[in-house]
Amino acid sequence: MIDIKLIRENPELVKENIKKKFQDAKLPLVDEAAALDAANRAAIKEADELRAKRNALSKEIGKLMGQAKKDPSKLEEVEAIKAQVTAQAERLAELEKLEAEYEEKLRAVMMVIPNIIDESVPLGPDDSHNVEVERFGEAATPDFEVPYHTDIMERFDGIDMDAAGRVSGNGFYYLMGDIARLHESVIAYARDFMIEKGFTYCIPPFMIRRNVVEGVMSQTEMDAMMYKIEGEDLYLIGTSEHSMIGKFIDQIIPEATLPQTLTSYSPCFRKEKGAHGIEERGIYRIHQFEKQEMIVVCKPEDSMNWYEKMWRYSVELFRSLDIPVRQLECCSGDLADLKVKSCDIEAWSPRQQKYFEVCSCSNLGDAQARRLKMRVKGEDGKMYLPHTLNNTVVAPPRMLIAFLENNLQADGSVKIPEVLRPYMGGKAVIEPKK
């Protein structure tokens, strides 16, 4: 959510930003917000004036009541002033009601107006216009056929989607044996990797209230992703970023504690609405998975430096697991409304002969902080809004696809990179059972 001052002072900049995001249908919202803001400020001004008049009249009544002890005729003046006070009180009640209505409507409109994107963001209507920036590692093609990822897992007796379908429906799975152990090893390694980078490890709540959901994401994202707990003001998290940023709701953060750098583990729950192609079946798009996440809360002037550090952590981690990756800059039309700048880290798929998304790094500026009423108290005593950032460390369903394809050997075994062996009981390789 942007600052209303920006609409007051530079509405054309806000409109131009909307055009850059190819959301022209939202252009009327800028004028609507300006009108609601003006009406609200007028109501506030009139209410303040009435309160001042009421205070003055109350003092006048007190003065006249004192005079009335000697001159009873003053009581008529007292009654006339009391009538004014009553009329003003009724108007003040109307104005206070109007203020609440204007504020509610204005907030609803402001929640839909997209954040101002960074000047470096490439322009384009959708993800087909995202820009490859850099590749890391050789995107090799083996001289043997690489099976579909669930077929690889089945050779290890490592997955059962049929049983999961009977128990939970489509979009779920059982992982077993070496594949399940590999899954947990990747999570544990990612946890320790981020701790070594100086991040504080955290296990957050897996359910959050609606006001937190509205603070961290747009209504469109919320409807597409979140599962509501029936009869409760609670939603299952789609990513631990939501509860981690939500940790600071309504808080005043001492400047000396910045940056806050946290890495969190959680299960994630997503609706994943819509039909998907063959490459997004298996365990690519599922309703439940586990993930290691990283978030940063920092001073505004430091956020772009952290953005650069965070996506590079992802590259370093994936390369340590012998997985080639590339960085893809997200274009304006592919940015969620709260984001200032974002990039994807994509892993190489030897089977598909292309890259696919495994991490997403985002700088949200002060949008989440404004929605959640997060503030920082500077050394000078002044308050300001921090910037928030998030990035995937690893999400093993997609990570497992990339890992298995890139570490598969011609004999069907899977090589375990050296950094992962301590988490796999020292194994350098896992062997298929069939």
User: pLDDT tens, 168-199?
Assistant: 998 899 999 999 999 999 999 999 999 999 99
pLDDT tens string 375-387 = 999 989 999 999 9
pLDDT tens-digit profile of 56-73? 766 666 665 655 555 566
More confidently predicted of 72 and 246: 246
Q: Which residue has the higher pLDDT, 275 or 152?
A: 152
* Helix pair angle (27-68, 11-20), 10° resolution: 150
361-379 pLDDT tens trace:
999 999 999 999 999 999 8
pLDDT digit string, tens, across residues 194-228: 999 999 999 999 999 999 999 998 877 888 889 99
Helices (H), 321-348: none
Mean pLDDT of 144-170: 94
Q: Is the pTM of this model over 0.85?
A: yes
pLDDT of residue 247: 97
Beta bridge pairs of residue 344: 328, 360
CA distance 420 to 320: 9
Distance CA 112, CA 222 (A): 13
Range with the poorest average pLDDT among 12-16, 135-139, 274-278, 425-429: 274-278
pLDDT score for 65: 60
Give the whole-number percent of the chain exceeding pLDDT 70: 92
Calculate ∠ Cα 417-193-159, nearest 5°.
55
Interval 117-141: pLDDT, tens: 999 999 999 999 999 999 999 999 9
pLDDT greater than 80 at residue 246: yes
Which CATH code fits 127-430?
3.30.930.10
d(CA 254, CA 376): 6
Tens of pLDDT, residues 71-115: 566 666 656 766 777 777 888 888 989 999 999 999 999 999 999
Q: Domain extents for the chain?
A: 4-110, 127-430
Q: What is the pLDDT of residue 273?
A: 58
Q: What is the CATH number of domain 4-110?
A: 1.10.287.40
The letter for the amino acid at 45 is K
* Domains 4-110 and 127-430 agree in fold: no
Mean per-residue pLDDT of the chain: 92
Cα 218 to Cα 221: distance, rounded to the nearest angstrom: 5
SS3 at position 358: strand
**Average pLDDT of 24-44?**
96
3-state secondary structure of 368: helix
Q: Which of 396, 416, 397 is nearest to 408 (CA)?
A: 416
How much is the pLDDT for 275?
A: 47
Q: Enumerate residues 6+ apart whose C-beta is below 8 A from 319.
A: 136, 137, 325
Question: Is 243:205 a contact under the CB 8 Å cutoff?
Answer: yes
Is the confidence at residue 7, as pLDDT, over 60? Answer: yes
What pLDDT was estimated at residue 278?
A: 46
